[in-house]
Amino acid sequence: RIAYVNGRYVRHAEAAVHIEDRGYQFADGVYEVCEIWRGKVVDERRHLDRLERSLRELSIAMPMSRAALAQVMREVIRRNRVQSGIVYLQVTRGVARRDHVFPPAGTKPALVITSRAVRPEVGDKAAEAGVGVITVPENRWERVDIKSVGLLPNVLVKQKAKEAGAKEAWFVDADGFVTEGGSTNAWIITTDNTLVTRPAEHGILAGITRRVVLDMIEREGLSFDERPFTVEEAKNAKEAFITAATTLVMPVVKVDDTVIGNGHPGSFASELRSKFHEVSELEPV
């Protein structure tokens, strides 16, 4: 495997960043993950838009032009011969002597890009059975709209989910509303067939997969409501699912100890999953 690290294509096993990298020191950086499907990059434009936004919010410069970034990303995918899998981009504020304030002007942002194959059957298998989620108190900062590499709360709840035999943990805010999962957005379908997901303005990362699913819902003329929903509502829902670039649309069949619907993936979630790549933008590598 090959990785791109600050201007060089290096063997993945030996790829390394400096110990004074601010990503390592302060989690002072952001990332993106795009799916690669049948040799195409999925929703690249939106992922790069979000990367630029995350960087802007933190006053970190783009490490190179967007066009150059897209080219390096392609080169990493090509060199790893990935047809199905993911490409990961991470940008940090760069390498400087440890000091909380921004480093001196001229410090170059650091860029790492990796790519690896993931067999599509793995996700499809999970989607056939559906997954469980647990609920946990929201304890993250208010700027979760920034796709920061500071993911400690997410790490802890994902581990807790794993130990409980679940796939994801849903953060629940002080008012009892689900915000989102540790690495996914959260959805329910009410008994009157309305798709519900929290508005992207507050408390969640504006997921690209979420956006594409909303486009799909509009295209199909399904009824939807962008509003927060409670854990109680989720437990009484007809269906539930989670979305992310790496999991696509993944049916949820259990919330804590409550079985959703008949305990099998619902027809809406399965349909949205199967049609996803008809609506997403596919860019050739």
Exactly one of 185, 197, 270, 280 binds ligand PLP (CB under 6 A); which one? 185
Q: How far apart are CA 180 and CA 187, in angstroms?
A: 9
Select from 23, 85, 130, 207 the one that contacts ligand PLP (CB under 6 A): 207
Shortest CB 143 distance to ligand PLP, Å: 12
Active site residue 147: yes
- 183, 197, 270, 280: residue in contact with ligand PLP (rule CB under 6 A): 183
Q: Least distance in Å: CB of 268 to ligand PLP?
A: 18
Q: Which of 114/184 has CB closer to ligand PLP? A: 184
Q: Name the nearest CA neighbour of 272 among 246, 245, 241.
A: 241
| Chain length of the chain | 285
| CA 104 vs CA 52, 93, 94, 128, 137: distances in Å | 21, 11, 10, 52, 38
**Does 244 sit near ligand PLP (CB under 6 A)?**
yes
Q: 68-90 burial, b if ≥16 CB within 10 A, otherwise e?
A: ebbebbbbbbeebebebbbbbbb
161 binds ligand PLP (CB under 6 A): no
Candidates 40, 108, 125, 147; catalytic one: 147
Q: Residue 194's beta-bridge partner residues? A: 223
Segment near ligand PLP (CB under 6 A); pick from 17-25, 116-124, 160-168, 238-246:
238-246
Rg (CA), the chain: 19
Q: For the packed helices 44-57 and 208-219, what is the interaxial angle rounded to 10 degrees?
A: 130
Is residue 44 involved in binding ligand PLP (CB under 6 A)?
no
Closest of 73, 85, 56 to residue 147, by C-alpha: 56
Q: Which of 92, 243, 270, 280 is in the footprint of ligand PLP by CB under 6 A? A: 243
Taking CB under 6 A as the criterion, the residue among 86, 205, 240, 255 binding ligand PLP is 205
Is residue 280 close enough to count as binding ligand PLP by CB under 6 A? no
Residues labelled catalytic: 147
Interface residues toward ligand PLP, by CB under 6 A = 33, 180, 183-185, 205, 207-210, 243-245
